[in-house]
């Protein structure tokens, strides 16, 4: 999952980023509302979730949230706020946010709120993704081919998850990289090929039917 954090407390933003990356997510952060809105709008197809502070320089979270919804962007928005009055909470939700979290909060609670948002019907992932005899559970992060459990690294899991959400579609290497690594990443472009080689060994080796396919000069796809 790719996440954008808009939070002007840089230490907090970095802490959240570090925790989410440890769970295998790609995370970017910006420090003011104006840049956050521009980034979210420009890369709307890449982000799965926006974590948005309310009290931001240049443009506050209320305005950013309403503006993004007015432009038709539908990814989940989780608000971070130090304001916990009923009026503020109602205003947050009325401006298009999906949920809010009052500061200070624990990382475990943030993770739980994120999981709940991604399970909601309008934007949710299926409980389980399945292609042929390959099954992936986004919540438990378990992968099976037939009855065999397959152990994947965090990035391998996210790559397979991304491909299985788009069965039969060719995904360009750049698109995969953009979805799984943050903008500050210095990873070499061949990192996709390396991860795919390892993923193919785990998913396809030993099976007559191969599910992962390389489209030469373009990218990769998983058979639908």
Look at residue 184 and tell me if it is in a domain.
Answer: yes
Q: What is the pLDDT of residues 197-216, one digit of tens each?
A: 999 999 999 999 999 999 98
The residues pairing with 34 across neighbouring beta strands, listed in sequence order, are: none
| Whether 104 and 39 share a structural domain | yes
Give pLDDT, residue 186: 59
Assess if residue 124 is contained within a domain: no
Q: Rounded to the nearest 10 degrees, how much is the dihedral formed by the CA atoms of 91, 93, 99, 102?
A: 10
Distances (CA, A) of 81 to 17, 67, 163, 164: 17, 18, 35, 35
Do 106 and 144 fall into the same domain?
Answer: no
Token pair belonging to 67: 């503006």
Both 110 and 140 in one domain: the answer is no
State if pTM tops 0.75. Answer: no
Phi and psi (nearest 5°) for 25? -85, 155
In a domain, 111, yes or no: yes
The domain total for the chain is 2
Q: Are residues 114 and 21 in the same domain?
A: yes
Domain assignment of residue 218, yes or no: yes
Q: Enumerate the β-bridge partners of residue 101.
A: 80
Residue of higher predicted confidence among 172 and 203 = 203
**Lowest pLDDT segment from 9-13, 31-35, 120-124, 189-193:** 120-124
Q: Are residues 110 and 133 in the same domain?
A: no
Q: Which of 94, 118, 142 is the last residue of a domain?
A: 118
Q: What is the pLDDT of residues 120-140, one digit of tens each?
A: 654 444 568 899 999 998 777
Query: Does 14 share its domain with 68?
Result: yes
* Residue-level pLDDT at 54: 92
Q: Are residues 109 and 12 in the same domain?
A: yes
Domain end marker among 54, 83, 118: 118
CB 80 within 8 A of CB 101: yes
Higher pLDDT, 148 or 175: 148
| Structural domain that includes position 102 | 2-118
Q: What is the mean pLDDT of residues 152-177?
A: 88
Query: What are the angstrom distances between the C-alpha of 21 and each of 2, 18, 102, 140?
Result: 10, 5, 22, 17
Q: Is the peptide bond before 19 cis (omega within 30 degrees of 0)?
A: no
Helices 191-203 & 154-164 angle (0-180, nearest 10): 80
CB 3 within 8 A of CB 51: yes
Task: Compute CA 187 distance to the chain's CA centroid, rounded to the nearest angstrom.
Answer: 18
pLDDT digits (tens, 9 = 90+) for 72-112: 888 899 999 888 788 877 888 888 898 989 999 999 999 98
Q: What's the angle, vertex CA 175, arms to CA 42 and CA 149, rounded to 5?
A: 125
């Amino acid at each position: 999952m790719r996440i954008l954090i808009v939070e002007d407390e840089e230490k907090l933003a970095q802490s959240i980023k570090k925790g989410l990356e440890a769970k295998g997510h790609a995370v970017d952060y910006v420090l003011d509302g104006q840049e956050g809105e521009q980034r979210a709008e420009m890369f709307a197809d890449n982000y799965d979730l926006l974590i948005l502070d309310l009290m931001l320089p240049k443009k506050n979270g209320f305005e950013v949230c309403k503006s993004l919804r007015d432009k038709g962007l539908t990814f989940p928005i989780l608000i971070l706020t130090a304001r916990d009055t009923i009026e503020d909470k109602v205003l947050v939700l009325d401006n298009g946010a999906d949920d809010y979290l009052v500061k200070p909060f624990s990382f475990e609670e943030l993770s739980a709120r994120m999981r709940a948002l991604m399970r909601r019907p309008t934007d949710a992932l299926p409980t389980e993704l399945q292609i042929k005899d390959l099954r992936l559970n986004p919540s438990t992060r378990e992968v099976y081919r037939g009855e065999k459990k397959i152990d994947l690294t965090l990035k391998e899991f996210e790559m397979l998850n991304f491909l299985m959400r788009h069965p039969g579609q060719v995904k360009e290497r750049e698109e995969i990289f953009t979805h799984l690594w943050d903008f500050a990443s210095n990873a070499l472009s061949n990192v996709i090929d390396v991860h795919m080689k390892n993923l193919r060994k785990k998913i396809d080796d030993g099976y007559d039917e191969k599910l992962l396919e390389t489209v030469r000069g373009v990218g990769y796809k998983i058979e639908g």
